[in-house]
Amino acid sequence: MTALSRSSSRRRGPAPVDFELASLLGFVIFRLSSSLGGLAERDAQEVAGLTLPEYRCLVVLATRGDMGVTPLCQVMHIDKAWISRTLAKLAQAGLVSSIPNPDDARRTIFSVTPRGRQTSQALIARAMDRQARMLEGFDGEDVERLLELLRRMQENADRAKGP
C-alpha cells in the first residue's frame, strides 16, 4: 500500500473524535451573521434597492457624520477599494455627495444628501424593527449580557490575530 492510498483510506473512515460542526462557536456565529445579513439586505433592497455594503456605508455616514474613505474603512472593517466603489454607487444614486478635503486636496469628504438622509432613516427604522424581532424573549439584562459577552469574544479574537 502506498502512502497516498493509506492517506486516502484514512480519510474515508469515521473522524477520530466525536465532532459536530454546529458545536463550533465560529459556525454558529457565521450562520447567525449570514441570517442577519440576509435580512438586512432584503430590507435594503425593499427600501432603496441597495446592497448590504451600500446600506451599511450610507447608515454609517448618516449616523457618524461626514468622513473620508479611510475613516469609513476603519469603522466598517472593509478595504479601501470596496469602500470607494460603494461610495461611487451611492453618489450615482444621489444618496451621498462629495467635496475635496479642505486639509488635503488629494482626499475627499463624503456626506449624506437630503435624499440619503431620508433613505437612511427608513433603513434605520427597519433595522430597529429587525433587531427587536431577533431579541424577542430576551429581557434587558439578557441583551446587555449578550452584548458584553460578544464584545469580550471580539477582543479575544482581535488579540488572537495579533498586531
What's the pLDDT tens digit per position in 127-158? Answer: 999 999 999 999 999 999 999 999 999 999 99
- What are φ and ψ of residue 8, in 5° steps? -65, -40
pLDDT at position 102: 85
Computed over every residue of the chain, the mean pLDDT equals 90
pTM: 0.79
For residue 82, is pLDDT > 70? yes
Q: What is the DSSP string of 75-88?
A: HHT--HHHHHHHHH
Whole-angstrom Cα distance, residue 87 to residue 95? Answer: 9
Give the three cell numbers for residue 142. Answer: 439578557
Q: Name the band, by pLDDT with cuts 50, 70 and 90, for residue 162.
A: confident
Task: Identify the three-state secondary structure at position 98.
Answer: strand
